[in-house]
Amino acid sequence: MTRVLVTGANGFVGSAVCSALAQHCDVRAVIRPAAAMVSLGEVELVRSDLFPDTNWACILDGVSVVVHCAARVHVMRETADNPLEDFRFVNVAATLNLASQAASIGVKRFVYISSIGVNGGVTYEHAFASEDAPAPHTPYAISKSEAESALRRMALETGLEVVIVRPPMVYGAHAPGNFAILMKWLVTGFPLPLGLVDRNRRSFVFIDNLVDLIVTCIDHPAAANQTFLVSDDEDLSTAVLLRRMAAALGRPARLIPVPASMITLGARLIGRPGIAQRLCGSLQVDIGKTKELLGWKPPISVDEGLRRTAAHWLATEGAGK
């Protein structure tokens, strides 16, 4: 049985990957020493820091594939004096240390969970493709791009098969960040000034669809040394997304018809232009290569993904609110 090492196993994506892989692989799940215990199914749970000098020898023993989900993630309110160096410490140096040790002991494949931010932060006439020149726009995305480049060089030098997966916003049960905030606003009936934000298009990916692709990349021959974009294969405007989220929640979508230009102006006036970009801008990904090269398509539709997300949210965080 293939032994797979999953880092960041207590995270949103990592925990879902562990649960899926445990059905047909021998999974060794890595969490931070200070992290709370988590239930991940039939997996071997180990604790380790992700540092540039971490010794992975014992943890990598017998491992054939590494799925590297752990990272210093993008934060909305950055407090570090030098955010890029902090991102590089974990996302570049520590990642390359793990990959180098994996290559040295004969691990076959390294699946790296990156970010669509490597492509950039906004699309205009054309969706992002995996072959596009990188245009990272944040310290987090820059660190991910640098890690990707270094991993590709390592693949050429060592024979380690590197597979890179770049997801856009991931949603699902336990989804952190903006998606959870939107769920809460819709459930409470909070009026949102987004009724006219219907010309943008954004790609999203349901957690089960992302995990399905990652599992496919574990051993698919055509995945070796490739970069894949992933989405639900249906792009939505912000207004349409909110209406379909509300329908999944069984709530009305109280959307106020405010022009997108006014939202953009307001965000600039309060010094938060990024908010308007995420709400009003477009970010589309082309998953044609992923579908054609791997024979893969997302198994869960957008509406089913939203239904499952809403059902879990109502049963846990949203009950009685």
Q: What is the DSSP letter of 164?
A: E
Distance, in Å, from the CA atom of 138 to the CA atom of 239, rounded to the nearest integer, reads: 26
Q: Please, are residues 117 and 140 in contact by the beta-carbon 8 Å criterion?
A: yes
Mode of pairing for the β-strands spanning 109-113 and 161-166: parallel
Query: 6 forms bridges with which residues in the sheet?
Result: 29, 67
Distance, in Å, from the CA atom of 153 to the CA atom of 157, rounded to the nearest integer, reads: 6
Q: Which helix (H) or strand (E) holds 44?
A: strand 44-47
Active site residues: 140
Q: Please, are residues 135 and 119 in contact by the beta-carbon 8 Å criterion?
A: yes
Distance, in Å, from the CA atom of 260 to the CA atom of 70, rounded to the nearest integer, reads: 36
DSSP 243-290: HHHHHHHT----B----HHHHHHHHHHTT-HHHHHHHHS-B-B--HHH
CA-only gyration radius of the chain, Å: 20
